[in-house]
């Protein structure tokens, strides 16, 4: 059983996970999904969570990179949290995936002429996140300053000759900061912004080292093949507790505060500082007598809203 990634090529968060596979030397399954809604292969398992990426390991479904990377760490191999930083890589990745992701997105998007955006992409992001291209353009200089400040911190961190943020070995913090610059560099319309970030001392060499990690052993799969693996598997036992005011076994909805995406609803098995787990039933194949089966859908605690369903 190998981890299966639901992703599209230009997703920066998916690039973070793909590089994580490479760092750990993993073989993984690739299920391609659209960059816009709908994403039926993915949402049938997640119960509505439609951001990219999602990782499936058997009947366990991990949403958000802050849940995905610890799940990959549990598979063994090269650690994503190498010494001396250790778990501080998780904090660095959280900062990169949060405010610095926003800074890099807006710095990059603001450099692209509005008429160059795909119309369907704009409609999707307007409906889900309230995207306003005029506002992005106006906000560009501020967020470029934020992204450059981050690159400057990275430059100073690398000034003593270390290869990666913590030393000789790459960690989750490196991968998360790399994926932000990768996103800006990937789009030709914002390549000049990436050039400014990479022009700071030591940053371009570090970027090349992270890019050189690669993506591991990628094997293409269909959504039907991935669904069959989930149906044949049993979710792993849940480790953790349900903290007040929530109650174990209650029906709960997990959503993200900055989006209009539908919540994932299920039976609450875990809700503590370490994460959230819902048990939910997936319908059998439409038109056939295939019974429902159970999956566990995992979220990080950071960035999620939990409410009674």
Percentages of the chain per state (helix, strand, coil), in multiples of 5: 45, 20, 40
Q: What is the pLDDT of residues 226-238, one digit of tens each?
A: 999 999 999 999 9
Q: What is the pLDDT of residues 61-120, one digit of tens each?
A: 999 999 999 999 999 999 999 999 999 999 999 999 999 999 999 999 999 999 999 999
pTM: 0.96
How far, in whole angstroms, is CA 145 from its chain's centroid?
Answer: 24
290 burial type by CB count under 10 A (0-12 exposed, 13-18 middle, 19+ buried): exposed
Query: What does the pLDDT read at residue 188?
Result: 87
Query: What does the pLDDT read at residue 258?
Result: 87
Give the contacts of 26 (CB within 8 A, at least 6 positions apart): 2, 3, 72, 75, 77, 216, 217
The C-alpha atoms of residue 244 and residue 170 are separated, in whole angstroms, by: 37
If one compares 258 and 18, the residue with the highest pLDDT of the two is 18
User: Is residue 291 very low, low, confident or very high in pLDDT (cuts 50, 70, 90)?
Assistant: confident
Q: What is the pLDDT of residues 180-229, one digit of tens each?
A: 999 999 998 999 999 999 999 999 999 999 999 999 999 999 999 999 99
Side-chain half-sphere CA neighbours of 127 within 13 A: 11
The C-alpha atoms of residue 252 and residue 276 are separated, in whole angstroms, by: 10
User: Is residue 19 very low, low, confident or very high in pLDDT (cuts 50, 70, 90)?
Assistant: very high
Q: How many beta carbons lie within 10 A of that of residue 248, not counting itself? A: 13
pLDDT of residue 287 exceeding 70, the answer is: no
End-to-end C-alpha distance for the chain, whole angstroms = 32
Query: What does the pLDDT read at residue 283?
Result: 83
- E strand spans, the chain: 4-7, 27-32, 54-57, 60-63, 217-220, 251-255, 264-272, 275-282, 293-299, 305-308
Query: What does the pLDDT read at residue 290?
Result: 66
Given a contact cutoff of 8 angstroms between Cβ atoms, the answer to whether 55 and 14 are in contact is: no
Q: Are strands 305-308 and 251-255 parallel, antiparallel or unpaired?
A: antiparallel
* pLDDT mean across residues, the chain: 96
Mean pLDDT along residues 1-12: 97
Query: Structure tokens of 191?
Result: 């390549």
Given a contact cutoff of 8 angstroms between Cβ atoms, the answer to whether 55 and 68 are in contact is: yes
The C-alpha atoms of residue 194 and residue 180 are separated, in whole angstroms, by: 10
Q: What is the pLDDT of residues 52-78, one digit of tens each?
A: 999 999 999 999 999 999 999 999 999
Residue 124: left (phi > 0), alpha (psi -120 to 50), or beta? Answer: alpha
């Amino acid at each position: 059983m190998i981890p299966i990634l639901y992703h599209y090529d230009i997703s920066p968060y998916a690039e973070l996970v793909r590089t994580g596979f490479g760092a750990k030397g993993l073989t993984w399954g690739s299920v391609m999904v659209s960059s816009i809604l709908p994403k039926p292969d993915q949402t049938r398992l997640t119960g509505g969570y439609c951001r990219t990426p999602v990782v499936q390991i058997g009947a366990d479904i991990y949403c958000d990179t802050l849940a995905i990377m610890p799940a990959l760490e549990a598979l063994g191999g090269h650690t994503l949290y190498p010494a001396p930083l250790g778990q501080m890589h998780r904090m660095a990745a959280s900062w990169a995936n949060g405010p610095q992701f926003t800074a890099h997105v807006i710095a990059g998007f603001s450099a692209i002429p509005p008429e160059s955006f795909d119309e369907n992409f704009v409609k999707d992001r307007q409906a889900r996140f309230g995207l306003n291209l005029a506002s992005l353009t106006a906000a560009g200089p501020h967020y470029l300053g934020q992204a450059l400040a981050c690159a400057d911190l990275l430059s100073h961190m690398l000034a003593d000759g270390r290869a990666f943020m913590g030393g000789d070995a790459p960690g989750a913090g490196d991968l998360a900061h790399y994926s932000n610059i990768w996103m800006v560099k990937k789009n030709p319309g914002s390549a000049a912004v990436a050039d400014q970030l990479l022009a700071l001392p030591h940053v371009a060499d570090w970027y090349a080292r992270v890019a050189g990690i690669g993506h591991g052993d990628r094997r293409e799969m269909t959504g039907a093949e991935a669904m069959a693996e989930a149906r044949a598997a049993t979710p792993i036992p849940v480790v953790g507790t349900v903290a007040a005011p929530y109650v174990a076994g209650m029906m709960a909805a997990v959503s993200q505060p900055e989006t209009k995406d539908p919540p994932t609803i299920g039976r609450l098995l875990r809700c503590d500082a370490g994460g959230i787990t819902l048990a939910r039933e997936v319908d059998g194949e439409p038109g056939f007598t295939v019974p429902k089966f159970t999956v566990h859908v995992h979220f990080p605690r950071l960035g999620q809203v939990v409410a009674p369903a």
